[in-house]
Amino acid sequence: MSKPTDAQPDCATDALRSAMVRARRQSHIDVKQVVATEAFLLAIPKTDLHVHLDGSMRLGTLIELAKEQGVELPSTDEAELRRTVFKPQYDSLEEYLKGFMYLTAVMQSAAPLERVSYEFAIDNYEEGVRYFEVRFAPQLHASADAEFGIRQVIAAVDRGLRRARDEFNERLQKSGLDEPLYEYGIIVCAMRSFFPGMSRYYTALLALHAHEPADFVSSMASTALVHASVVSRDEDQIPVVAIDIAGCEQGFEATVHKEAFELAHRHFIDKTVHAGEGYGPESINQAVRDLHAERIGHGFYLFEKDMIKNERNLGKDGGERFLSSLVKRICDHRITLEVCLTSNLNTMPELKLKDHAMKKMLAHHVAVTLNTDNRLVSNTTVTKEIRSAIDAFDLSPKQLKDIVVNGFKRSFFPGSYEERRCYVRKVMDYYDRLAVEHGVA
């Protein structure tokens, strides 16, 4: 964890305050047009709190690694792969997920994992993403023995991320610029479901416990992941900040992983859960109620009363009370929704951006962040996601700043509280300075 430098103040400087006063005195500007300029959106400090490592690989790297490892791809031409596999639009979630089998296939040892992680961090930092929390499922990459277990997978990813971060911070400090440092956290994903052949780890686990109920084996796997992650954090000094569960929601309830999340809770590992992406509000409720989720991945169906299935939750009012209570709980506790606009459009062909649930989230004052989900599979960047939100929901400059800063405030920042406070203050001052420079009130 990089320590804050003396150049990181706790409050805005007098010069910055003076500049902001001068900006307010300037003649009226078309604020929305200025906010949406490419230069401003690229310059502002950004976060990505919901982004998958495998789904964000460089396409050229996939082709190179596949050739080195003898992994057969549908094509070795980037344009053809973008046309047939990593498409501009998908017909379903199943089609969206198809490309992941090629991506994970070339990430089965330390060297490619480190390379992919390093390039991932470079791509983010070069775009002005000052802080990200990259997530991946170590058990999709681990072997069935101790030579390349969960701990070794996490270490390989961390080496790549750390190398990129240190390079960028060294460059920044040599420049003498008064800007926020580059940082990162790691989120490990357990899987809601898995099957023989999905990975070496899962194949071996299922073979060893062939006569155990599926839910028991799933619980065992996620609990093992938490144990290894605690060791990675405490003994290896790797910034493992949270646990997540990913995969198909329908038919694979979050409560199966309750023991693992209780273990994470006891060890001060934060919790985020993919929920409300492929199933309704009850999935989000399970994540919040049973898994102590501090953030929700997607949460797209939060307001969909018609998707409530349980008779008890439906009650006499058709689920109105259940839904309002859930939204109140999320707002009261500032449980943040990790919104991924392009990804949702990719997997819901009938969805129009203007109708995205983020519009209701903003109206209900739900805490949200904007994220990519998968930079390659969704062919997007954080800057593109912000631009989409500005255009679709007519964000004001204040709303934009609140959403951007919320990414830093609601992160699972791995440093101390004082380091976190100083870092967020630094980000806010830097954002304000850029707003003045770009003429944004």
- 7 three-state secondary structure: coil
**Cross-strand bridge partners of residue 166:** none
- Structural fold of domain 26-437: TIM Barrel (3.20.20)
Task: Give the count of beta carbons closer than 10 Å to the beta carbon of residue 173.
Answer: 14
Using the CB atoms, write b or e for 296-327: b if 16+ within 10 Å.
Answer: bbbbbbbbbbebbeeeebeeeeebeebbeebb
The whole-number pLDDT of residue 11 equals 44
Q: How far apart are CA 9 and CA 418, in angstroms?
A: 12
Q: Where are the alpha helices (DSSP H) in 276-415?
A: 281-291, 311-314, 320-332, 341-347, 358-363, 382-393, 397-409
The whole-number pLDDT of residue 30 equals 45
The whole-number pLDDT of residue 26 equals 44
- The per-residue pLDDT string of the chain (441 residues; one tens digit each, 9 = 90 and over) reads 544 444 444 444 555 555 554 544 443 444 454 456 899 999 999 999 999 999 999 999 999 999 999 999 999 999 999 999 999 889 887 789 899 999 999 999 999 999 999 999 999 999 999 999 999 999 999 998 878 999 999 999 999 999 999 999 999 999 999 999 999 999 999 999 999 999 999 999 999 999 999 999 999 999 999 999 999 999 999 999 999 999 877 788 889 999 999 999 999 999 999 998 888 999 999 999 999 999 999 999 999 999 999 999 998 899 999 999 999 999 999 999 999 999 999 989 899 999 999 999 999 999 999 999 999 999 999 999 999 999 999 999 999 999 999 999 999 999 999 999 999 999 999 999 999 999 886
Q: What is the pLDDT of residues 143-193, one digit of tens each?
A: 988 789 999 999 999 999 999 999 999 999 999 999 999 999 999 999 999
pTM of this prediction?
A: 0.91
The whole-number pLDDT of residue 34 equals 45
Distance between first and last Cα of the chain: 34
- 244 three-state secondary structure: strand
Residue ranges covered by each domain of the chain: 26-437
The tokens of 259 are what? 């023991």
Q: How far is CA 400 from CA 33, 39, 41, 413, in A?
A: 13, 15, 10, 21
The whole-number pLDDT of residue 14 equals 52
The whole-number pLDDT of residue 250 equals 76
Q: At what angle do helices 214-234 and 150-175 cross, to 10 degrees?
A: 40
Phi/psi at 329 (5° precision): -60, -45
